[in-house]
């Protein structure tokens, strides 16, 4: 088979590939970041690149490109920005971080005080040391003129620094989402957040959802290794970016806290997630894990520690624990409901006395996957729509629209329902079947696209192709919202409570933050009775990770929460199927 040379510009990376290799594969296999917003369908036109070949140069869609000759390809380096929520619930905690510093001026050894070096440092505190510290100790204390700063976690010494460095101590909190990684650099001496950084989880190139990642990881040892390295590399990028932009160095970061769903958790730790994907869906570990940064390749101070928050079960992970911590689900006398809709939909219901959690296969519909014109909440996404006398919408980044994100999808369906264009069963009516006065205004937007009935939202778009929603998309939404609604119903039943007993609904995650509560209730994602009680709390998982980093007590509290929450496996609930089916309609 022929081989051709591809040169990626402007970085001038040379790659040799076999004839007919797709350009998607070329980029993916060589770790080059590039987004194909419509998943390579050739629809969104957002992956346009300039190619240089013998016959001249031209612009093509990268997703449609196959290699049939030597090529140079210029990838536009414009940052693939995407809006993520890194707000969280800010609540007050007493600053008592997982890593601390103590400055000491040690008495010098003398014949009257000839204690060993380590005793001189540790006194009778019972602090535990390690071989590395001991090996460095004699020179360290002497070259520092017996003035040293101890870096501690719990009763364990992490490092010894020369002289007084106690005013400088950094940590980072991470939320490793299936789609997005968000990091927060915190000054642990002041508690102040210095910067927020985020990136697409690079594992997405192996699949949008956890199941496809698990498949890759379980097929071979290399698969697991690959996914592990991808996420670690991106975390390292974000650390580097965060410290660089704030004028620090990675070595000044001594602690990371990490929240993520159970699959992300396992992949980060290079733990095989295979058994998460098959009944009975058991994780390898749920309890808190603390590892040396170096053990998983995290580049902070070489002696630094990574504090992973605990999981609850295979599909309710540390991210839910962190969100429950941020929302203080363990302190409420009143019944509260927490819903975190990311790539999956996890929810927690209860009071401080009793807490239940479940996970529903909400699927990535709300993140734009499996939706004709779906996309994540990135620039170009229609995020809100109102259909009244006019059809009005807003677009993230205030550009021409190129697709529709989760909150937009929810709005569209809610508005189409109200306008009588979609019926209670989720069917888009034929133009002639629309009888409501409002609906009739929009009859001409109901068209067939590729043989499927669709409703056109906008024809003047960034891609040149119309942005629309079709019958299939509505079915996807029904499955997603049906799953979540059923989850709420089962949790309520388990708790032996009614919808109206719920005093507050916390909506976590980007989608939860952007969605219009009215639309969520209109489509039945959330029971109508709760409309006034909905509170968006942003990236609560990240918020919980921050709290844990800033306060030992909060980290311990996360551990308590993970133990306290009873996990309900919906697949074993005999009535789940019927409740789910009942919730499919609007």
Give the interface with its own copies as residue ranges (CB under 8 A).
109-120, 129, 131, 134-135, 137-139, 269-272, 274-275, 279-287, 289, 291, 295-296, 311, 313-314, 569, 571-572
User: What is the rounded CA–CA span in Å between residue 190 and residue 554?
Assistant: 17
Q: What are 554's two structure tokens?
A: 């909060």
Question: Mutual orientation of helices 471-495 and 406-418 as an angle, nearest 10°?
Answer: 100
Residue closer to its own copies (CB basis): 240 or 569: 569
DSSP calls for 503-544: -EEEEEHHHHHHS-HHHHHHHTSS-GGGGGGEEEEESHHHHH
Nearer Cβ to its own copies, position 1 or 111? 111
E strands within 37-169? Answer: 48-53, 56-61, 71-74, 100-105, 147-153, 156-162
Closest approach of its own copies to the CB of residue 485, in Å: 23
Cβ neighbors of 521 (< 8 A, separation 6 or more) are 527, 528, 530, 531
Nearer to its own copies, 2 or 571 (CB): 571
User: Least separation, in Å, of the C-beta of 498 and its own copies?
Assistant: 28
CB 546, CB 88: distance < 8 Å: yes
Minimum Å gap between C-beta 141 and its own copies is: 10
**Cα gap 443→433, rounded to integer Å:** 9
The distance of closest approach from Cβ of residue 320 to its own copies in the complex, given in angstroms and rounded to an integer, is: 15
Select 273 or 512, whichever has its Cβ closest to its own copies. 273
Q: Which two three-digit tokens encode residue 559?
A: 């551990």
**Nearest distance in Å: CB 96, its own copies:** 23
Q: 302, 294 in Cβ contact below 8 A?
A: yes
* CB-facing half-sphere around the CA of 109: CA atoms within 13 A: 11
Q: Cis link prior to 10 (omega < 30° from 0)?
A: yes
Which C-beta is closer to its own copies: that of 16 or that of 110?
110
CB of 269 to its own copies, least distance (A): 6
Phi-psi sector, 247: left (phi>0), alpha (psi -120 to 50), beta: left
Which residue's CB is nearer to its own copies, number 283 or number 380?
283
- Helices 540-550 and 318-326 sit at what angle, rounded to 10 degrees? 80
Q: Smaller CB distance to its own copies: residue 280 or 451?
A: 280
The residues facing 347 across adjacent strands are 339, 358
Question: Residue 176: which H helix or E strand, with range?
Answer: strand 170-176
For the purposes of burial, counting CB atoms within 10 Å of the CB of 81, is it exposed (0-12), middle (13-18) or buried (19 or more)?
A: exposed
Residues paired with residue 504 on neighbouring β-strands, in sequence order: 336
* Closest approach of its own copies to the CB of residue 108, in Å: 9
Nearest Cα neighbor of 534 from 561, 557, 511, 564 is: 511
| Distance in Å, CB of 234 to its own copies, minimum | 20
Nearer to its own copies, 141 or 492 (CB): 141
Least separation in angstroms between residue 433's CB and its own copies is 45
Closest CA to 405 of 84, 78, 146: 84
Nearer to its own copies, 20 or 130 (CB): 130
Helix H or strand E segment including 490: helix 471-495
How far, in Å, CA of 317 to CA of 332, rounded? 21
Supply the minimum distance, in Å, between the C-beta of residue 554 and its own copies. 21
Nearer to its own copies, 114 or 435 (CB): 114
Q: Cα-Cα-Cα-Cα dihedral of 212, 263, 85, 191, to 10°?
A: -160
Looking at beta carbons only, is 287 or 334 nearer to its own copies? 287
Q: Which is nearer to its own copies, 291 or 452 (CB)?
A: 291
Name the minimum Å distance from CB 274 to its own copies: 7
Considering the complex, what minimum distance in angstroms separates the CB of residue 273 from its own copies?
9
Instruction: Indicate the residue among 58 and 295 with the shorter CB distance to its own copies.
Output: 295
408-424: b (≥16 Cβ within 10 Å) or e: bbbbbbbbbbbbbbbee
The answer to whether 59 touches 50, Cβ cutoff 8 Å, is: yes
CA angle (456, 364, 346) in 5-degree steps? 130
Min separation Cβ 541 and its own copies, Å:
20
């Amino acid at each position: 088979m022929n081989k051709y040379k591809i040169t990626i510009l402007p970085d001038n990376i040379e790659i040799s590939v076999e004839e007919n290799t797709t350009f998607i594969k070329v980029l993916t296999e060589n770790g080059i970041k590039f987004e194909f917003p419509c998943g390579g369908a050739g629809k969104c036109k957002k992956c346009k690149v300039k190619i240089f070949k013998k016959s001249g140069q031209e612009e093509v869609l990268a997703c449609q490109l196959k290699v049939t000759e030597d090529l140079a390809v210029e990838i536009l380096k414009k940052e693939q920005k995407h809006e993520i929520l890194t707000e969280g619930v800010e609540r007050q905690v007493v600053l008592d971080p997982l890593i601390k510093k103590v400055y000491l001026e040690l008495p010098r050894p003398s014949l009257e005080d000839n204690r060993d070096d380590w005793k001189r440092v540790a006194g009778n505190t019972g602090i535990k040391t390690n071989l590395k510290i001991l090996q460095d100790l004699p020179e360290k204390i002497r070259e520092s003129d017996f003035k040293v700063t101890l870096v501690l976690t719990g009763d364990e010494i992490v490092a010894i620094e020369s002289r007084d460095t106690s005013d400088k101590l950094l940590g980072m909190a991470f939320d490793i989402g299936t789609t997005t990684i968000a990091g927060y650099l915190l000054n642990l001496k002041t508690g102040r957040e210095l910067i927020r950084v985020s990136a697409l989880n690079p594992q997405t190139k192996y699949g949008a959802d956890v199941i496809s990642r698990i498949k890759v990881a379980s097929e071979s040892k290399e698969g697991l290794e690959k996914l592990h390295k991808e996420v670690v590399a991106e975390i390292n990028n974000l650390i580097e970016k965060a410290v660089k932009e704030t004028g620090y160095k990675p070595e000044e970061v001594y602690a990371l806290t990490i929240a993520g769903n159970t699959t992300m958790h396992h992949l980060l730790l290079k733990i095989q997630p295979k058994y998460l994907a098959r009944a009975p869906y058991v994780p390898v570990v749920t309890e808190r894990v603390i590892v040396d940064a170096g053990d998983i390749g995290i580049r902070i101070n070489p002696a630094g520690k990574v504090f992973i928050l605990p999981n609850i079960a295979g599909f309710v992970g540390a991210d839910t624990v962190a969100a429950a911590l941020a929302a203080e689900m363990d302190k409420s006398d009143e019944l509260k409901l927490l819903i975190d809709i990311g790539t999956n939909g996890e929810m927690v219901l209860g009071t401080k006395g009793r807490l239940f959690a479940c996970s529903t296969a909400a699927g990535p519909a709300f993140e734009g996957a499996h939706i004709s014109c779906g996309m994540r909440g990135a620039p170009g996404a229609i995020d809100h729509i109102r259909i009244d006398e006019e059809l009005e919408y807003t677009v993230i980044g205030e550009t021409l629209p190129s697709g529709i994100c989760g909150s937009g999808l929810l709005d569209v369906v809610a508005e189409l329902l109200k306008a009588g264009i979609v019926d209670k069963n989720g069917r888009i009516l034929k133009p002639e079947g629309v009888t409501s006065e409002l609906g009739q205004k929009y009859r001409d937007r109901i068209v067939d696209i590729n043989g499927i009935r669709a409703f056109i939202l906008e024809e003047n778009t960034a891609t040149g192709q119309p942005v629309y929603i079709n019958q299939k998309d509505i079915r996807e939404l029904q499955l997603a919202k049906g799953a979540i609604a059923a989850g709420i119903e089962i949790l309520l039943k388990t708790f032996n409570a009614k919808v109206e007993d719920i005093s507050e609904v916390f909506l976590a995650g980007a989608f939860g933050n952007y969605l219009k509560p009215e639309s969520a209730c209109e489509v039945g994602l959330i029971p109508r009775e709760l409309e006034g009680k909905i509170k968006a709390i942003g990236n609560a998982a990240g918020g919980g990770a921050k709290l844990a980093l800033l306060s030992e007590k909060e980290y311990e509290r996360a551990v308590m929460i993970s133990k306290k929450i009873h996990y309900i496996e919906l697949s074993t609930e005999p009535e789940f199927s019927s409740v789910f089916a009942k919730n499919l309609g609007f």
